Every structure is written in structure tokens, then in C-alpha cells.
Structure 1
Amino acid sequence: MDRKNMYFYYQKDEDTEQKLQAVFALAKENGFQIVDDHRKATIIISVGGDGMFLQAVRETGFRQNAIYAGIISNEASSYYCDFNLDNFDELFHTVLNEELEVRRFPVIKVKVNNGNSNYCLNEVTVRSTIVKTIVIDVYIDDLHFETFRGDGIVVSTPTGSTGYNKSTTGAVIDPLLPCFQVSEIASMNNNNYRTLGSSFILSKDHVVRFIEREDGNDHPIVSFDNEAFPIRKIQEIEISMDETVIKTVKLKNNTSWHRVKRMFLS
């Protein structure tokens, strides 16, 4: 497979198509070939924000033999996208001069009702979709850890810790740590239901299981990154980590903590 094969993932509208003509032309001038099938590409490039990057990773199947990169078209802050339409030539220069630095972002693996595995780069959430709390027994490995009652639970990767997880007062985690974080969404704590009351972080060697109690809330919704799926009945959700990672292009002097500072402190 040619390491110069590029696949672009973007919203097919007239404005985006027009803006990308210069990108396509420069790619060809530098000896890259643009392919229409992501399976033939070694570099997969999303054009848009973080949401588009997450969608590109999911739609291309969390490719382990490809490198992902993200381009944004404005000055908005982005966690996953190193490049924008004003400096996309840096991407070609980096690859051509073998100055490529690669991040390896851990992902979580999710099974619902013992079905097929779904990978998540950001997070998986379980939420109530009606005006009623959801009740979930939480297991860590074989230990019944707590019984949660509230609006829902977020399980995030280290990179996903800056998203929904952070809005629930969860911690921001260094992506170099292979771990995942469990955070509550509006939990109720009383004599009948008792939770830790804070986020907790587990190493990749652990497995978390959620078992929904039959309490009249039969319409939960499960979201994998930015895609949500209503599920009639959740018997069990199993969350774990394996060796799967997402490899992304990294500009020099642009660590994850540089990104966090730009997003929240600049």
C-alpha cells in the first residue's frame, strides 16, 4: 500500500468542495494520490471540526494501519485537528520530510447486550430519554461497586475527558495514560441509592459493566462518540480496553496539553 495515498472525509457541499480544491492541487503537486476508497489509503484526513474527525474515524472503521489527521476551516479550537486551511501545507511537508510525529490515542471497546463490539475514541454515554431517572448497577470486574440513580453515566477515554466528561466535573486525563474514566450525570444519593459521588479512573486492565434495573425506564439511549442509538432494553453494557489505538499526525511543539490550554485557558 502506497504511504502517499490520501483519503479525504468531509461534508460534500459546494462551499467545502470549493475550499478543498487548493488542498487537492497541492497534494498532487507533492506527489500524493487522492483515493476514493479509505481502504486504499494510508493517511485519512477529516475536514471540519472534532465532530467530523470522530465521524471519520468511525466511518472508516478505526483503521489500525492508517494515520489520521484533521483540518479545520476556521479559527475554532479543536482537540483532534492540528491543521487548518491556512497551514495545511505543513501536513505535506511533515510527511515528505519524514518529520512525522505520531500520537497514539487509546480507545474504549463497548458491548451492548453481548452484541458486536463498538469502539469509541471520545466516550460512551448511557442516558435517560424520558423525564425519569435511570437505575444502573455498576460492576468493576466481578465486584458490585455501586447502584446509580440519576440522568446517566459517561465513560470517557483520556482524549474524551475534555468533552462531556469535563462538563460533569470529571478530570482531564493525559492521553499517554491507557485508562478510562467513569463520571455521573446528575446522580441522586440517599438512603436507597448510594454512589461514590465523584468520577473514578480505571486502568486498561479493568472491565466495567452496567446492568440496568427494571424501574420503569425502558427507553435509555446509548451514544458512541457523536452517534446516539435508542435501545429498547439494556440488559448489560460491558466497557473495556484492548490494544486498539488511533494514530494521528502531530505537529512539533503541539502536545495535548498545548491543546488543552488553547481550548480552555487562552
Structure 2
Amino acid sequence: MRVAIYNSDTQESKRLKRMIIQGLAKEGIPYDEEQPDLVISIGGDGTLLSAFNHYEDRLDEIRFVGMHTGHLGFYTDWRTFEVFDLIESLKTDSGQSVAYPLLNVEAKFSDGTRQNFVALNESTIRDMVKTMVCDVYINAELFERFRGDGLCISTPTGSTAYNKSVGGAIMDPKIVGFQLGEMASLNNRVFRTLGSPIIFGKDAVLTLRLADDSTAVLSCDRTQIMLGEVRHLTELTYSVAEQQIRFAKYRHTNFWRRVKASFIGGEA
């Protein structure tokens, strides 16, 4: 088994990286940042998001382990004082893992180009200049015309992130699907949307068709997709991705304990 480390830029994360590399060498476990079988993320959920993006083209071949240097996140199981316990777990690794669904995003632009993205947490589409207008299709059938600030489409594990702040529901990560949440929708006698989150199953396809004069901006996780002056978004299609993210299941913290610790209080 080949191991790589993806760390944040803090001194503590760099110190832990050195400790782990020394421990791996002592146990004869190869360190390989190019072709790893397992990636240890040191930092927080943001660092793991960056690690996910860095190794996105190898998701079928690798598993992740998260070590947090601050508050317990939703993707980080190990604490900074557990370096040697983690290395001990690596020695007895048998390939065990837990997998979570990802979000596939297909974007079409006014110049005829297309791009595909995969999101771990969410994708957002919003307009900072004016009211965003788009037609919402569910499985190729028109459902509603949305007017408002924007829309947030999230994965089950990402449902505790930005989705929750816009009033979305928290989804059990064992559900294979995704969620649509509204951002400040216009609802009055003239304009009407459903006004509540929608949770889709694994086979659903969500399509958003934007107005011709749209100035909406697309983001996937923390990355904003640059559009430039010569093109704008015309259509977005969302579905459950074929890929999944896998975490090494040495000691994967219960999701609902994380939710309780993060939003209610108590130990995770």
C-alpha cells in the first residue's frame, strides 16, 4: 500500500506530516504522492476538499483518511495526538472502506462549449448582479421557473455545509441522491416556486436552463468556474456521479454523532 499526505499550510500540519512520514518509513510503508492507494489529509474539511480535487482523476483507486488540526469536521476522524495510532492502523490495513456519493455537474455555455465537474459537497449557481431566472426540469419535464438569488445543489455529505445555511435538509449519507435548495426565491402572487428543499433519488436528472441574458456564476465546492466575457452559462445538468469518494474505515466516526457535536453540542 502506497501512502500520500495532503496537508494545509499551517506549521502544525507540516509537523504532523513529518511525523507520519517518519513513522511510515520506520514501518516500511511506501510514501508516494503520485500514485497513492491512500491519501492522508491533515488540516480540516477544507483541506480534504482540496485533496479530493487534487486526486479527482484517481477516485476509483484511492481511499482517504482525515486528520483534523482544529475542530472536528465531517470528513476528519483522527486527532493530532493520534499519529501513532493511525500508523498502527495502516500496518493492519485490509482495504476496508466506506463510500459516499458525489455530484456530477455538466455545464453548457453560450459559445457551444461544455465542461464536466464532480463535487464532493455542493455546486451553486447564483447571480450577484440581478435576479437569477432559470427553468427547472426534473427528468426532462418542466417543474417550475425559479426567480431569486440562486440555487444550491448538494450531496448527502455536503448537506451539512452551505446547503444547511440556505435552509436545506440534512441527508443521511447512506442515501444515494442529491438535494436542491433555494436561495432567497421570489414568491408572491405573480412568481411562485416550491419554496422548500427537494431531495432526489439516484436515477434523477435535474436540468437548469438559464435566461439568454444570464450573468449567473457557477461554483463547484469552493471553486468558482471562470466564464470570461465571451460566454455565459446556458444550461446545467445535475445527477449522481458514477464515481464515489471512499474513506478508509479504521475508525469512521458516526455521521449523526458529528451532526450532534457540530450543531447541538457534545462529544462526537
Q: TM-score normalised to the size of structure 2?
A: 0.89
Query: How far apart are the structure 2 equivalents of 1:157 and 1:15?
Result: 30
Q: Residue 23 in 1 paired to residue 34 in 2? A: no
The unaligned stretches of length 5 or more in structure 2 are none
1:223 to 216, 219, 224: 219
The unaligned stretches of length 5 or more in structure 1 are none
2:176 to 168, 171, 178: 178
How much does 1:90 deviate? 2.6
How much does 1:241 deviate? 1.4
Query: How far apart are the structure 1 equivalents of 2:15 and 2:26?
Result: 18
Query: How far apart are the structure 2 equivalents of 1:148 and 1:107?
Result: 24
The Cα offsets for residues 72-123 of structure 1, whole Å up to 9 and x where unpaired, read as 123x120001112211323222232246642101001001006232111101
How much does 1:129 deviate? 2.1
How much does 1:171 deviate? 0.8
The Cα offsets for residues 25-53 of structure 1, whole Å up to 9 and x where unpaired, read as 1122222221231xx11001211110110
How much does 1:183 deviate? 0.3
Checking the alignment, whether the CA contact within 8 Å between 2:118 and 2:241 is kept in structure 1 is no
The residue identity in structure 2 corresponding to 1:237 is: L
The residue identity in structure 2 corresponding to 1:199 is: P
Which residue in 1 is equivalent to 2:248?
A: 249
Checking the alignment, whether the CA contact within 8 Å between 1:212 and 1:236 is kept in structure 2 is yes
> How large is the RMSD of aligned CA atoms in angstroms?
1.9
Change (3 A) 1:98 1:16: closer
Query: How far apart are the structure 2 equivalents of 1:19 and 1:94?
Result: 16
Q: Residue 66 in 1 paired to residue 62 in 2? A: yes
The Cα offsets for residues 140-189 of structure 1, whole Å up to 9 and x where unpaired, read as 01110011111110000000000111111111111111010000001001
Query: How far apart are the structure 2 equivalents of 1:11 and 1:78?
Result: 14
1:193-212 superposed matches below 5 A: 193-212=191-210
Query: How far apart are the structure 1 equivalents of 2:232 and 2:242?
Result: 30
Checking the alignment, whether the CA contact within 8 Å between 1:10 and 1:46 is kept in structure 2 is yes
The residue identity in structure 2 corresponding to 1:56 is: A
Which residue in 2 is equivalent to 1:133?
A: 131
How much does 1:234 deviate? 1.1
Query: How far apart are the structure 2 equivalents of 1:128 and 1:253?
Result: 38
1:78 to 70, 73, 82: 73
The residue identity in structure 1 corresponding to 2:20 is: V
The residue identity in structure 1 corresponding to 2:5 is: F
Which residue in 1 is equivalent to 2:89?
A: 94
Which shifted more, 98-107 or 159-168?
A: 98-107
2:157 to 144, 148, 159: 159
Which shifted more, 65-74 or 104-113?
A: 65-74
How much does 1:243 deviate? 3.0
The residue identity in structure 2 corresponding to 1:64 is: D
Checking the alignment, whether the CA contact within 8 Å between 2:7 and 2:47 is kept in structure 1 is yes
Checking the alignment, whether the CA contact within 8 Å between 1:204 and 1:242 is kept in structure 2 is no
Aligned length: 257
Q: Residue 262 in 1 paired to residue 265 in 2? A: no
